[in-house]
Structure 1
């Protein structure tokens, strides 16, 4: 075998070895990656000047990839106008994401809103970088809605996030169907 052929074969073998190593490293990274996540904080835009903040720290571990109801974490929100309002914190009980959209639900564990503790709520987030949007299960009710709201139910993300505050990150869920 001449020197040129040997050099080309050796170079090809080296490239194949590097590509295989990179591929297996990528596969192991994929298996370690969370199955889904929703994190971040933002304020909603309201022309009346309402101070409305939502924050999320919701995760579905890779080992629980097949069951979004094993998600963990918390989310919280507050809504104030002219010094009056309330806040609440919920423990995550379901997280489903797809592309840039996440639906998270949870049960209110702490709040200063009378009658809200123990209520399940759901929120939908559309992660659009600087133009995130958000919707919540109580959008069409006067209170936080029915206590029997199913897990992972939210409304369409109809609210606009205030300019400069969008900071949601959605890790897409990729179930094995």
Structure 2
């Protein structure tokens, strides 16, 4: 190999090495600034609204009874927060039950939301049913536009059994007034 060829190859190799070092110098600070990959953001679920209905479809003993559920919740699963209030009236308008609490879980899939919460305050409770503070209750909302449906755990389980976190029942009550927004 001639000296000219050797010199040319050395210059090419040195130029390549210099270019590589320049790239490393430019990219190295960026790599050091953020060494760990960023975690994917958790979903921000939403359940918001007030729904009212008449319990006529639940049997003769509930004909004319009216209920109202106010639920405001946001977050993801057990990283959720919010409040709920439940009111229930006899057909003559007298209060049957009134209680409220804090949301401890919210899960959403499409237009359906399941939320649970702990009862913190009972303002009215019927003599035949004790509504205990500290108990978890569950709600299921099916956001069908103007024809939302609602389900609640104590319609099936009563208040004596503990409701597992993030669980609800089928949405059995069609709302006659109001509605909910569910966002996933």
TM over 0.5: yes
- 1:78 aligned residue (80, 87, 90): 87
**Alignment length, in residue pairs?**
131
- 1:59 aligned residue (74, 82, 94): 74
Cα offset, 1:115, TM superposition: 4.3
- 8 Å Cα contact 2:122/2:131 also seen in 1: no
Structure 2 unaligned segments of length 5 or more: list them.
1-40, 57-62
1:171 is matched with which residue? 183
Give the SS at the match of 1:117: coil
TM-score (norm. length: structure 2): 0.66
Structure 1 unaligned segments of length 5 or more: list them.
1-30, 173-177
1:109 is matched with which residue? 120
Which protein, 1 or 2, shows the higher relative CO under an 8 Å CA cutoff with sep ≥ 6?
Answer: 1
Taking the aligned partners of 1:104 and 1:84, their CA distance within structure 2 comes to 25
Cα offset, 1:170, TM superposition: 0.3
RMSD: 1.8
Q: Which runs of 4+ in 1 moved over 2 A?
A: 45-49, 112-115
1:150 aligns with 2:161: no
1:140 aligns with 2:151: no
TM-score (norm. length: structure 1): 0.68
Give the SS at the match of 1:69: coil
